[in-house]
Amino acid sequence: MKPRRVVSWVPALCLATGNALGQPTLTQTPLPPPTSDPLLLSLRPAVRAELPRAAGVSSLAVLPRYDLELVLEGQGERYRLRETVTFTNTESRSLREVVFRVYANATRPRPGTTPVRPVTFQQGRCPDAPCTVTAESPSVLVARPSAPLAPGGRLRVELEVTGVLTEIDASRTNIMAQGLESLGSLAANEGGGDYGLLSRGDGIVSLGNFYPVLARRTGARWERTDGGSVGDLGSDELSNVHATLDVPQDLLVATTGISLHTLGAAQAPVPAGRRRFEVVAGAVRDFAVVGGRALAVEGRLVGDVEVRSWFLPAHRTAGQRVLDVAAEALAVYERRFGPYPYADLDVCEAPLVGGAGGVEFPGLVTVASMFYRPATEGGGGLLGLLGGGAALSNMLPAMLEFVTAHEVAHQYWHALVGSDSRAHPFVDESLAQWSAMLYLEERYGAERARRDGDMNVRMNYQFMRTLGQDDGAVDRPTAAFATPMAYAGLVYGKGPYLYPALRAAAGDAVFFRALRRYTDTWRFRTAPPTGFTDALATEHPAGAQQYRALARRWLQEAHGDEDLGQLDLGALLGGQVPGLGPGSGVDPQQLQDMMQLLGPLLQGLQNPGAGTRPGVGGAPGAAPNGVPGADVDQIVQQILQGAGGP
C-alpha cells in the first residue's frame, strides 16, 4: 500500500500487484511444488528454504498474518471485508494496545475537492480474549485487550469494514489531463490525493490500501499520523496474507500472491454469477487487487518466473511493450541484484490520477493509463507548445518504458530489501530511479541511458530549481520536504546520481559486488539509510572514506546545481523529441520563461489568502502578481495556453 511517485518532466506515477485469477490461458507455469506451509507457494522454491533465516525470524508464524474475506459487490463500485489479524508481540515489553491504520482514509484530497473517506469501520472484536476495538479517527483503529499483551503473546483481532471505489472519469486518464493535475498538486503542500489506488475507471477496478493494517512502530510508540501525505503511505513490515475473494463471474483479477484454487459449494455456497478464489502471499509488505471484465493479458517466462502484462484491448501495442520492458528489466535486475523472490510478476494498466505514473506492490505493479492512451487525447495549450501530438507521441514510449522499469525495480528496493519509506524515502526511490537507468544502459547502451535519464530523472531536479525551489538534503523524512516539488526534485531527481558517482569511484567490479552484498544482507529485512555505502566500504575498505564523502555530498549537502547543471530545454527537447530541435519553430526560451513564471505562481498558490510570502511581490491575500488563489488547474492552463501563443 505504498504509492510510489515516478516523476518525469510531466510528473507521473503508477500501480502494481502479483498473481492472476480467472485469467485467459497463457503459457503458464504450473503451480509450484507443494510445501508444508501454503503461504510459501507464492515464493520461488529456492527462496522458501532461506526465508526464516533471511528475515531473522524463527518461523513465518512470527510475522503478522492477515486473513481477508473480500466481497466485491455490484459492478465493482463497493466492497465488504471481514479481516482477521494475528499479531505477535515481538518486543520486550507488554503492549496495552494494538493500533491499525486505514491508509485509504489518510490521504489528503487534491486541491479544490471535498475530503472522501472511502473505508468505513463497522465493528471489531478479539475472538480469543476480552478487548475493545474502537475508531479513534477514520484512519486509526485501536484494539485494547483487557490485560496487556505480554512479550511473545499473540492477539487475534477481527475487523469488519465496507468500502467505496471512487469513480474516475475517462477524461482524467490521458497524459494532458494528468500533466495539469500534477501541476495543480504542486500548488498544494500535499500530493495528488490517493492517486486512484482505491478506484474504478476505464473498465478497471483497483483495490490498493483497501484493508486496515498494523500501524508503524517507532521505538515504543504506534504511529497514528503521517506528517502529511507527500511520499509513501503504508506499512514497511513483512506480513503473510491469506485471502478469499468473492467477485463477479466475468471479472478477471490479478493480485499480490498466487491463487490456490477456486472454492466451490463444498466450502460455502457460491451465488449464481459469482466466483470465489483463495489466494496466499507469504512474506509481503502489502497486498492489492486489480481487475476488469475486458482486460487482455499476455505473458512471458523469465527463467521460471512468469511475467504478465494486463491491459485494455484497445491499448494492446502499449501493453505488449510493457510486457517486453518488464521481462527484460527483470532479467537485468536478476543478473545484477540477485534472484527475484516471487513466483510471478503482473504489470497492470490502471486508471491512476493525481500525476501518478506507477505504483508497486509485491509481485504486482500498476502503470497509469495515461501512458497507454494516445498523446493527442485531451490536447490544449501545452500540447501546442510541444509542437503538436506527434512530438508528445514520440516521447510517450520512452516515458512508458522508464516508468515500467522503475516499478519493476521496486520488486527489489522495497519489496525484497525493505526500508523506512517515511523517514528515509531516498533508500528505495532513488535506487529504483537509478536501476531504471541501469536497465536502459544494459539494454541499449550508455548514451540512451544518459538521454532518457536526463528526461526522466535529472529534469526533476532541474525543473524544481527552475521553479524557484531550493537545493538541499536528499536524506530527510517525507514530512521535512516543503512541497511535493521539492520531494520529487531531490528524491527522484538528485538522489539517483549518488550511484553513478559511487560506481565511478569504485569501478564496476567493486560496485556491483557491493550491490549484491547489499541485497543479500538485507533480503526480507529493513535496510538502514547507510546500507549500500556500508556494503561498498566492506567490499573495498581502502575506499570507505571516499565513498562516505560522496554519500554526504549527494545526500546531505547542496551541490546539485554544480553537479547536475541548469535546465536547458533546447538541448533536452532537441535531443529527446524529433521535431523540437533547431529549425522546429518551437522556442525553447519561451518554454523556459513559462516555467520560471510558473514557479512564483505555484509558490503563491500553496497557501492562497495567507498574505505575501517573503521575497514574493503582490498584495496581501493574493498570489504573486496579483493572481487570486482560485482554481489552480484553470490558472495553470491559461498560462500554458498563453505561453504557447504567438
Number of domains, the chain: 2
- Cell 502471499 belongs to which residue? 281
Q: Does one domain contain both 494 and 618?
A: no
The distance from CA 570 to its chain's CA centroid, rounded to whole angstroms, is: 31
Contact 370, 178 (CB under 8 A): yes
Q: Does one domain contain both 635 and 560?
A: no
Q: What is the pLDDT of residue 296?
A: 96
Domain span at residue 638 reads 587-644
Q: Does one domain contain both 538 and 394?
A: yes
Q: Does one domain contain both 467 and 597?
A: no
Within a 13 Å sphere around the CA of 236, how many CA atoms are in the beta-carbon half?
Answer: 24
Strands (E) located in 256-403: 258-262, 274-284, 289-292, 296-302, 305-311, 344-350, 358-361, 364-368
Q: What is the pLDDT of residue 444?
A: 98
Q: What is the pLDDT of residue 620?
A: 28
Contact 21, 249 (CB under 8 A): no
C-alpha 642/C-alpha 574 separation (Å) is: 22
Q: For residue 242, how many other CB atoms are within 10 A of its CB? A: 20
In a domain, 421, yes or no: yes
Q: Does one domain contain both 398 and 452?
A: yes
Q: For residue 428, how many other CB atoms are within 10 A of its CB? A: 28
In a domain, 55, yes or no: no
Contact 320, 331 (CB under 8 A): no
- pLDDT by residue (tens digit) across 462-506? 989 988 899 999 999 998 998 888 999 999 999 999 999 999 999
C-alpha 555/C-alpha 206 separation (Å) is: 35
- Nearest 5 degrees, angle CA 491-CA 496-CA 499? 145
Contact 254, 290 (CB under 8 A): yes
Q: Does one domain contain both 511 and 602?
A: no
Classify burial at 641, counting beta carbons within 10 Å of its beta carbon; exposed 0-12, middle 13-18, buried 19 or more: middle
Question: CATH number of the domain that 439 lies in?
Answer: 1.10.390.10
- Cell 471484465 belongs to which residue? 293
Phi/psi of residue 478, nearest 5 degrees: -60, -35
C-alpha cell belonging to residue 588? 525553447
**Closest by Cα among 152, 156, 154 to 90:** 152
In a domain, 454, yes or no: yes
Question: Measured on CA atoms in the order 508, 576, 569, 627, is the torsion positive or negative?
Answer: negative
In a domain, 359, yes or no: no
Q: Does one domain contain both 447 and 525?
A: yes
Q: Does one domain contain both 598 and 635?
A: yes
User: Of the candidates 549, 564, 579, which is a domain's last residue?
Assistant: 564
Q: What is the DSSP string of 432-468?
A: HHHHHHHHHHHHH-HHHHHHHHIIIIIHHHHHHHHTT
- Nearest 5 degrees, angle CA 505-CA 557-CA 421? 90
C-alpha 483/C-alpha 463 separation (Å) is: 13
Q: Does one domain contain both 510 and 618?
A: no
Single pTM value for the model: 0.86
Q: Does one domain contain both 424 and 506?
A: yes
In a domain, 529, yes or no: yes
In a domain, 180, yes or no: no
Say which DSSP state 210 is in: -
Residues of the chain with pLDDT under 70: 1-36, 108-115, 183-193, 228-229, 261-268, 376, 378-393, 568-646
C-alpha 349/C-alpha 196 separation (Å) is: 12
In a domain, 29, yes or no: no
Q: Does one domain contain both 617 and 549?
A: no
Q: What is the pLDDT of residue 267?
A: 58
User: Of the candidates 564, 595, 618, which is a domain's last residue?
Assistant: 564
In a domain, 605, yes or no: yes
Q: For residue 244, how many other CB atoms are within 10 A of its CB? A: 17
Q: Does one domain contain both 403 and 469?
A: yes
